[in-house]
A and B are shown apart, each in its own frame.
Chain A
């Protein structure tokens, strides 16, 4: 199979995470390897094998990828300055999920946030039905909180902070 060759709709993305309380996150090199690595975290619904991963029941996937970082150089007497990209970290993802207090994935995320030092591999998988492209990163969870405002279902909100440089792209 090859990567999807079409413009994808937003709802085709899903979020997956490693199982177990103390996972071994993928190496930076393997974050860009689909077969036997990223595919083991992505479930069969998104064309993975799913042996070591589970779906996180999020309402929507926020923007994912790189943050911007740049250095601005100016030289006196020079006509113009120079802006060049510098090493930028993967962007943090603030995620909202409907709060089911018995959901295994949400309980694991709550435990990770309680710890604050658990590195775990997460994968955003965009599937068009038959083919998938994956953005995998290692991150830690923080700011887990519940919004139980009346007038709507209770929501569980948390932020995943990816570790620097530890991300990669892959596809089926």
Chain B
């Protein structure tokens, strides 16, 4: 997954993603949660981060872009029902 975020250089989550990309060998569990307000379905996977870069083109806010490469077979679906 190639992900774009607004770049706040002090955001602890983005700093952790940057550190993971600098290392390249850190496995971490990520979860995507989809909710309708009452119920939630989750997609969880383990992955490593690569290609962390900053797009600071003028005319817009600076963006931080990175790619999470999930590890093979390591994902699952769940929900809160």
The chain A residues found within 8 Å of chain B, CB to CB, are 2-13, 60-70, 73, 78-88, 91, 124, 126, 133, 135, 169, 171
Contacts and interface: CB of A to CB of B under 8 A. Distances in A.
B50 A8 contact: no
Given A3-B10, A80-B72, A126-B62, A88 B54 contact: no
Nearest 9 pairs of A and B residues by beta carbon: A65-B53, A82-B72, A85-B50, A68-B51, A5-B10, A133-B9, A13-B56, A11-B58, A10-B58
B44 interface: no
Contact of A4 (B10, B18, B50, B55): B10
Contact of A169 (B6, B18, B73): B18
B47 to A, nearest CB: 9
B8 A8 contact: yes
Given A63-B57, A85-B51, A126-B56, 10 more contacts: A3-B10, A5-B8, A10-B57, A10-B59, A65-B52, A69-B50, A83-B70, A84-B69, A85-B49, A133-B9
A83 B69 contact: yes
B53 A4 contact: no
B57 A7 contact: no
Given A65-B51, A66-B51, A68-B50, A81 B72 contact: yes
Given A3-B9, A81-B72, A65 B54 contact: yes
Given A3-B9, A5-B8, A7-B8, A84 B56 contact: no
A10 B50 contact: no
Contacts of B67: 68
Contact of A78 (B48, B50, B70, B73): B73
User: Interface extent on B, as a size class?
Assistant: 20 to 34
A8 B18 contact: no
Contacts of A87: 24
Contacts of B52: 65-66
A139 to B, nearest CB: 15
Contacts of A62: 57
Contacts of A82: 71-73
